[in-house]
Structure 1
Amino acid sequence: MLLQRLTELARKKEAKEIGHYIAPLGKKSLILGGQQGIEAIKQNITTSLNSHGISYQIEPFKGECSNNEINRMKKIGQAQAVDIIIGVGGGKAIDTAKAVSFKLNCPVAIVPIIASTDAPCSALSVIYNDEGVFEQYLVLPRNPDLVLLDTKVIAHSPVRQLVAGMGDALSTYFEAAACARARARNIAGGTMTQAALAIAKLCYEILLRDGYQAKIACEQNVVTEALNNIVEANTLLSGLGFESAGLAACHAIHNGLTILEETHPYCHGEKVAFGTIIQLVLENRSMKELEEVIVFCRSVGLPTTLADIGLGNATPEQIRSAADALSRTYRQSEEDAFLQSSAIML
């Protein structure tokens, strides 16, 4: 099991408190994130950093967690001699921040402005090329040092992003169950514990119980217990679950789909949710289980058909090319993850 090493997972903590939490970690920071994300909380963050004597440079993220973007940010960090990275935004910006901190061997603080993936809490960065096609998983030696998550910010974020996070989290239990049956390795190179499977199951149960109500809360820009629970499921429980249990067809299908340009406008979690339905079919799961997942997806607005992810007119050749890419990326990413985790453990 890959142990979670978070300094803080703060619900209802305002971004203006970030300096208090970052001060023990570093004094010279590089803030990276999407322009919209940084603008949303820039004033609170910079005011807090200034009040705690922490210098900062803000660098806009170009949109893809690619090796080129990681290396670009790394060079900026080296030139400024930063001792902490602050990642602001969604999944790809967060994964980039984690990868840059790994390259620079310094702490990383994560400030999500959306709850669209489990990236904030995980020790993994998903690497794409500059065009958005999946390339590999980068397994990291530790989890983020700080995750500061303000649910008031999430309540005012786009509803689609919260729902996409539910789609990502939806896969956690079914991939964990598949890995348990196969006695597959997790990303740390070991086998899962019962605790890991229990976390993944709890993640699924919270989605079914609170997902629809959380969507309504986000539509109304209010913080409710259901929203708090879904934010925790989307980020912490899903992050712990997939790290400690493993990945299976749901994410492999997502990775294969990324070679089709028609799917690029759709969120990671939307494609993963569709992949979850496909995995259930591949496993010959019961109609009751399949219907439960499809009903949930439709209730919150997650994809259930190819047309829902831009492939309503896909040709057989396109589907085959995605399937071929799925197979290649799954084998390569599993091998990369095992080799990286083995090196980390050594």
Structure 2
Amino acid sequence: MDKMIITPCKYIQGPDSIKSLGQYVLPMGNKALVLADSFVTELLGSQLTASFKQAEVSAELTLFNGECSRQEIDRLVHIAQEKKANVIVGVGGGKTLDTAKAVAFYTNNPVTIMPTLASTDAPTSALSVLYTPQGEFEEYLFYPKNPDMVVMDTQIVANAPTRLLVSGMGDALSTYFEARANTRSGKQTMAGGAQTLAAQALAKLCYETLLADGVKAKIACDNNLSSKALENIIEANTLLSGVGFESSGIAAAHAIHNGLTKLEECHHKYHGEKVAFGTLAQLILENAPMEEYTTVLQFCRSVGLPTNLFDLGVSKIDIDQLKLVAEAACAKEDTIHNMPFTVTPELVLSAILTAHQLGLPA
């Protein structure tokens, strides 16, 4: 199996980069369909319009309705075709960006991704996570290439709620451990080949950056201020985690997240918050050293990530419900089978319950 690494064509990060967005998009197309939800449109619509106008790019701001579902993608594809857009721009959170990637793919257009949050590692990836209109995980949609461009305005991220930055840390936290599992199993990564040394190094650097700068970045974001630590965490959450997971592989942590979407009580929790607990459960599943588990647990507590099922919104421990979570995590097509040993729903249930117990307050 050949080694392979995939990345976005261009990654741009800095304060107030929204002002240059139109200029960056222009080489790709002069008729942009710009997707954003109602909140982002109200918050940034005038700045987006000004940026595209200055660059002489015709921009059609179109509302994203909130769920990255087949139905929403189909609706927006029709609009893009009707408007004869030649470039798609997604501005907002992970589901908006995943939808923009899908619309670009189905209309055969380039795509520019501008996250307003550093809450997931979705922006740089060549995939979208599709959900049902009710919010349950449905499938991964894979693309032949990564986004043409990712633009991170770090001041916009600093102005966003801190919980979203922390959620991004939860998503990024899984990167190294899932990459390590794939190293041990030798399974094909999401890039379509074996791991490169570069991808492994990025995954490890992602984890090291979280431990070094996570708490400091959280404090800066609490005050809506930028800092070197915040800049580092934005890069870790977005670029290091994005390239790291895609070119090094994902495993149990994300599969357990997918299983947790079966619990309605967890639907209000963010992707990264559920992945963080999934990471703790994965460490139990693989019987990682207690010292390593404790380091991850303490990091989660230090930044405010969930460490037990109650933190995720579960009101009481229902074994029958958790069995459904474990069975969903072990679905035939899911990434839990990238672990370097055979995983069963019974083992996942045990790992979830153990992680929950260890993650309860002392």
TM-score by length of 1: 0.94
1:31–1:58 Cα contact (<8 Å) kept: yes
The answer to whether structure 1 residue 181 and structure 2 residue 181 are counterparts is no
The Cα offsets for residues 151-174 of structure 1, whole Å up to 9 and x where unpaired, read as 111111000000000000000000
2:286 to 265, 283, 305: 283
Return 298-307 or 31-40, whichever deviates more.
31-40
In structure 1, the partner of 2:232 is 229
The equivalent of 2:96 in structure 1 is 93
Task: Report the more deviating stretch, 166-175 or 148-157.
Answer: 148-157
CA distance in 2, matches of 1:270, 1:188: 25
Structure 2 match to 1:324: 327
- The whole-number CA distance in structure 2 between the counterparts of 1:306 and 1:193 is 35
Structure 2 CA distance for partners of 1:171 and 1:333, relative to 1, 3 Å: closer
Distance 2:235 2:157 in 1: 12
Amino acid at match of 1:32: L
1:59-114 deviation line (CA, Å, top 9, x unaligned): 11111111111111101101111001110111111111011101111011111111
1:13 CA displacement: 4.1
1:70-81 alignment runs, 5 A limit: 70-81=73-84
Q: Distance in 2 between matches of 1:137 and 1:187?
A: 11
Determine the C-alpha separation between the residues in 1 that align with 2:9 and 2:49. Answer: 23
Deviations 1:4-37 (A, max 9, x none): 1322322224212111101101111111121112
**Which whole-Å CA distance do the structure 1 matches of 2:306 and 2:333 have between them?**
22
Question: Which secondary structure state, in structure 2, belongs to the residue aligned with residue 57 of structure 1?
Answer: strand
Structure 1 unpaired stretches of 5+: 336-346
Q: Of the candidates 57, 62, 65, which is equivalent to residue 68 of structure 2?
A: 65
Structure 1 CA distance for aligned equivalents of residues 332 and 116 of structure 2: 29
Greater mean alpha carbon deviation, residues 267-276 or residues 308-317: 308-317
Gaps in structure 2 of 5+ consecutive residues: 339-362
SS of 2:156 mapped into structure 1: helix
Quote the residue 1:52 is aligned against. Answer: 55
* Residues 271-303 of structure 1: per-residue CA shift (max 9 Å, x gap): 000000000000100110000000000000000
Q: In the comparison of the two structures, how many residue pairs are matched?
A: 335
Q: Is the 8 A contact 2:16 2:156 kept in 1?
A: no
Q: 1:308 aligns with which of 298, 307, 311?
A: 311
TM-aligned CA deviation for residue 53 of structure 1? 1.7
Partners in 2 of 1:109 and 1:95 — Cα distance? 11
CA contact (8 A) 1:6 1:121 kept: no
Aligned partner of 1:182: which letter?
A: S
Tell me, yes or no, if the aligned pair for 1:33 and 1:89 is still in contact at 8 Å: yes
Calculate percent identity across the aligned residue pairs. 51
**Matched residues in 2 for 1:124 and 1:226: separation?**
28
Code of the residue aligned with 2:41 in structure 1: it is I
Partner of 1:343: none
**In the alignment, is residue 103 of structure 1 matched against residue 103 of structure 2?**
no
CA contact (8 A) 1:252 1:330 kept: no
Which residue type is aligned with residue 114 of structure 1? Answer: L
- Quote the RMSD (CA, aligned, Å): 1.5
1:137–1:333 contact (8 Å) kept in structure 2 = no
More helix by share: 1
Alignment-derived partner of residue 342 in structure 1: none
Aligned to 2:255: 252
Are the structure 2 counterparts of residues 320 and 252 from structure 1 closer, same or farther at C-alpha, using a change threshold of 3 Å? Answer: same
User: Which residue in 2 is equivalent to 1:155?
Assistant: 158
Match of 1:8 in 2: 11
Q: Which residue of 2 aligns with 1:193?
A: 196
Give 2:167's aligned residue.
164
2:259, 2:286 → 1: CA distance?
Answer: 19
- Name segments (4+ residues, structure 1) moved above 3 Å: 329-335
Q: For 2:87, give the aligned amino acid.
A: I
Letter in 1 for 2:45: K
TM-score between the two structures when normalised by the length of structure 2: 0.90
3-state secondary structure, aligned to 1:149:
strand
Displacement of 1:333: 9.8
Q: Go from structure 1 to structure 2 and tell me whether the alpha carbon gap of 1:334 and 1:190 turns closer, same or farther (over 3 Å shift).
A: farther
Q: What is the alpha-carbon distance in structure 1 between the residues aligned to residue 222 and residue 210 of structure 2?
A: 17
Mean Cα deviation higher: 13-22 or 147-156: 13-22
Amino acid at match of 2:302: S
Contact 2:179 2:203 (8 Å CA) reproduced: yes
Residue 5 of structure 1 contacts residue 145 of structure 1 at CA under 8 Å; is this kept in 2? yes
